[in-house]
Amino acid sequence: MSFPLLTATAALPALGAIATAAVPAARRTAAKWLALLVSLATLVLALVVLVRFDPDGDRYQLTESHAWIKDFGVRYELGVDGIAVALIALTALLIPFVILAGWHDADPLETKSSRWRPTQGFFALILGVEAMVIISFEATDVFLFYIFFEAMLIPMYFLIGGFGDRAHAGSDEHAAAQRSYAAVKFLLYNLVGGLIMLAAVIGLYVVAGNFSLQEIAEARANGSLDMATNTERWLFLGFFFAFAVKAPLWPLHTWLPNAMGEATAPVAVLITAVVDKVGTFAMLRFCLQLFPEASKWATPVILVLALISIIYGALLAVGQRDIKRLVAYASISHFGFIIMGIFAMTSQGQSGATLYMVNHGISTAALMLVAGFLISRRGSRLIADYGGVQKVAPVLAGTFLMGSLATLSLPGLAPFVSEFLVLVGTFSRYPAIGIIATFGIVLAALYTLVLYQRTMTGPVKAEVSAMPDLRVRELVVVTPLIALLIFLGVYPKPITDIVNPAVKQTMSDVQKKDPQPEVEAAK
């Protein structure tokens, strides 16, 4: 029997979470190092998965299949395609930076008299989220996917509500109330989406007789599973609603600004760069593959919702006074681009959307983590409380600028390539949608450059005059992310070579071909 590589990649952080939580109360530093080492070992396994995956081979590779709940046809089935491999690598890459950036985030909660071990709990929860996200990318059994899709809400709830941002303008009681509100709102929104999806999962089992993604998709393709049109559409809506909440898509997005604003910067990165990607990934894997006709039926409405997300998120980012909420609304706009690329039903759009998931994760991590370092020094999230930072902390300001430029998709940085592919793919089939979406780029330049101008330039405010520059640990966090943004901006081929065959398969699932150019090539 071959080594269960996919299981090991998800099980290692899960076991690491248990071990970290069990570290004695007095050994806080040991718990931090244990969590970091486990995350680095998980990254090594994710790289092994990346190396062993053959883009030109079978659609799902490194597969594992074992009986689980026989009476209901539930199996422990894992397998990865190119899209899943890219997102597993992204997740495993970002978690060590999240841990390093949050090295001292739980320290203020430590008290000599308390039996609670917040440091161990904080890092154990992060590893727990990593394990659940990775297995969600690997699961090819719909019920198995659903379990971890919902289970990851539990550690995220405690990370937001129990370890929230302490840089709050109000009293401690008010800050605690805001954190609790954000955590409960996050949980309720996603639970409602999950419950609706559960009804659709049960309905799918009633129709198909099993939960295997591959078996159901093959039965749909060869005609042995005849699903009524209305049934398919209702099941699609049940799945899509849950994924749209997680993504998040307008108008189901309102939990995200609260969650990211009240969470610590590393946890905010965990939300938008890691957890939310499960929603857009699932649209590609489950919605398009299981319900191809319903996906095409819903495409016009979804494209309009994605377009609203792009413009609405960017407009609200322009008007924000809170740094972290600005990044949250910018992410809503970016997720609009991703969803638009998925449902444009073109190979350029879907390749760009997948590449955008990876690039958005890296760029948002870079910007949000540097913003977290900035906020921890000043103790405020308000843009108006900063000014002239580049004169006293030039390295911090320089890295903040790089993260900002990546967020606005500057040519030469990674997000530009993916955004360009999404717009080209959308325009080739839906020109009006593509044209209007380009205004999101203009607004992105406005909110990111204004943010930089108000915080980093101008006269030095007294409160930031003694602000220290980035420390060694912080440079270790930020420097590799910026290097990746530059590398993938110049040479995205390593990722596109992996995801393009999977995108071709997805296009085949929905029986769509790229539109032919209207202008004939010169003879």
pLDDT of residue 302: 95
Among 32-46, 126-140, 338-352, 506-520, which is the least confidently predicted range? Answer: 506-520
pLDDT of residue 355: 93
Instruction: Write the DSSP assignment of 424-466 as a string of letters.
Output: HHHHHH-HHHHHHHTHHHHHHHHHHHHHHHHHHSSSPPGGGTT
pLDDT of residue 275: 92
50-86 pLDDT per residue, tens: 999 998 888 899 988 888 888 777 889 999 999 999 9
pLDDT of residue 1: 46
464-506 pLDDT per residue, tens: 888 888 899 999 999 999 999 999 999 999 999 999 998 888 8
Please say if the pLDDT value at position 266 is more than 70.
yes
212-231 pLDDT per residue, tens: 888 888 887 777 777 888 99
Q: Give the Cα separation of 395 and 174 in Å (integer).
A: 34
245-262 pLDDT per residue, tens: 998 898 988 899 988 888
pTM of the model: 0.91
Q: Give the Cα separation of 78 and 402 in Å (integer).
A: 38
First to last CA, the chain: 57
pLDDT of residue 115: 57
DSSP annotation of 397 reads H
Please say if the pLDDT value at position 158 is more than 60.
yes
Q: Pull the structure tokens for residue 391.
A: 């004169």
**Percentage of the chain surpassing pLDDT 90?**
58
For the chain, give percent helix, strand, coil, nearest 5.
75, 5, 20
Spatial CA neighbour of 11 closest among 214, 148, 122, 153: 148
267-306 pLDDT per residue, tens: 999 999 999 999 999 999 899 988 888 999 999 999 999 9
329-379 pLDDT per residue, tens: 999 999 999 999 999 989 899 999 999 999 999 999 999 999 999 998 888
pLDDT of residue 114: 54
pLDDT band, very low/low/confident/very high, at 180 (cuts 50, 70, 90): confident
Q: Which residues contact 444 (CB under 8 A, 6 or more apart)?
A: 314, 317, 330, 333, 407, 408, 409
Q: Give the Cα separation of 446 and 449 in Å (integer).
A: 6
Strands 61-69 and 74-80: antiparallel
Task: Please answer whether residues 315 and 244 qualify as being in contact, where contact means their C-beta atoms are separated by less than 8 angstroms.
Answer: no
Among 36-50, 221-235, 399-413, which is the least confidently predicted range? Answer: 221-235
Spatial CA neighbour of 29 closest among 94, 120, 129: 120
Please say if the pLDDT value at position 113 is more than 50.
no
